[in-house]
Copies of this chain bind each other. A is one copy, B any other.
Amino acid sequence: MKGNEALAYGALKSKLNAYFAYPITPSTEIPETLAKEFGSEEYPEFRVFLQAASELEAINMVLGAAASGVRAMTATSSPGFSLKQEALSYAAGMELPLLVVNVNRGGPGLGNIAPEQSDYFQMTKGGGHGSYRLIVLAPNSVQEMASFPKIGFDLAFKYRNPACIAGDAFTGQLKEDTIFPTIEPTEYDVSSWAVGTKGRERHVLNSMNLDPEVHAKHVTHLDEKYKVIQRDEVRYETYLTDDAETVIAAYGITSRICKSVVNKLRGEGSKIGLFRPITLWPFPYEQVRKLTEQVKRFMVVELNTGQMVEDIRLGSEGGAEVDFFGKVGGLLPTEREIEEKLAKEAP
């Protein structure tokens, strides 16, 4: 099963209610798979599949559905994700739980349809306007593509905030055996906030507060929520870091190539390990800080010109060498290239 298909089934098994589609390569297998399963008796909760007229319309329909408390989702790829930034800012402002998948392709502009990780900043720092954050999960296998939709929805509903799955063109297209764990979909109690006319208290969801005092209170409330998420929801993987002097930091598809490098160099006696952020936001700064107590050097490997490397630097606060190795344009680094980079620029 392809990563994109696995993600679609993972969403269905988490009781996805509504999907709003606007296809773009390399994410199109997600709506394709969902369209095929729409109406199937196996997924009676999957009640809406709608092909919207544009990326903006798709995400705004997700907002509308999410406001009613259902599990709503869309998927896109880099240029489409850019088009959704305004709406995602609105969703964060209105505290709407929803799931958006960004299968990162080559950029900027039209770029190409090969894998990159160049939307890291867009997903974790910027994107839309205002002081807000997306919860960003970065799977590195088809198995994780299958199991992250549930985690995404759980976090989105727990904190009433948009969650994002940061795929890449490689993981999306990758075929691997996938065991669908018995996903036990969570039931979310939305009665205190969701809109909807029948038998529910009247609620209004809005992101506008013209009075600065009122808006300041709201933004502060959001910020406090984000601090709780940063404290409680960080996810990461460490591999052979206990005694490591050098740690490769990588996420998504890149982390798998780096793991092979670690395995090989460990076999040659190097004290090397791997640090993989799973939540790109909240970022595991604290873990980087702890690693910095022992590690002399981080080598950050990304499919961009240097984005997560800033977060590693922020975590290590000058306490370790932080090097960067990037590949762009849809090219993946080879193990050999990473080894050479490690060798050449050793401190």
Q: Taking beta carbons and an 8 Å cutoff, which residues of A are in contact with B?
A: 36, 39, 50, 53, 56-57, 78-79, 81-83, 85-86, 89-94, 104, 106-114, 116, 118-119, 121-132, 197-198, 206-220, 222-223, 226, 304-305, 307, 310, 313-314, 316-319, 327-331
Docked-complex contact A93 and B107, CB < 8 angstroms:
yes
Known A-B contacts A318-B318, A329-B217; A83 and B86 likewise in contact (beta carbons under 8 Å): yes
With beta carbons under 8 angstroms apart, the residue of B129, B209, B310, B318 that contacts A319 is B318
User: Which residue of chain B has its CB nearest to the CB of A94?
Assistant: B109
30 contacts between A and B (CB under 8 A): A56-B56, A78-B129, A79-B129, A82-B129, A83-B83, A85-B122, A93-B107, A93-B109, A94-B109, A107-B130, A108-B222, A109-B130, A110-B207, A111-B208, A112-B208, A112-B215, A114-B215, A118-B130, A118-B219, A121-B121, A125-B307, A126-B126, A126-B127, A127-B127, A131-B328, A213-B329, A218-B329, A219-B329, A222-B305, A318-B319
Complex CA distance for A215 and B113, rounded to whole angstroms: 11
Complex CA distance for A22 and B124, rounded to whole angstroms: 28
Report whether over half of chain A's contact residues are helix, strand or loop; otherwise say mixed.
mixed
Known A-B contacts A126-B122, A215-B328, A304-B131; A89 and B113 likewise in contact (beta carbons under 8 Å): no
With beta carbons under 8 angstroms apart, the residue of B110, B119, B209, B226 that contacts A206 is B110
For this chain, the copies found in one complex come to 4
Contacting residues, chain B, for A85 (C-beta < 8 A):
82-83, 85, 122, 127-128
Interface centre among A83, A128, A316 (most CB of B within 10 A): A128
- A164 vs chain B, min Cβ distance (A): 12
Contacting residues, chain B, for A215 (C-beta < 8 A):
106, 111-112, 114, 328-330
Docked-complex contact A331 and B207, CB < 8 angstroms:
no
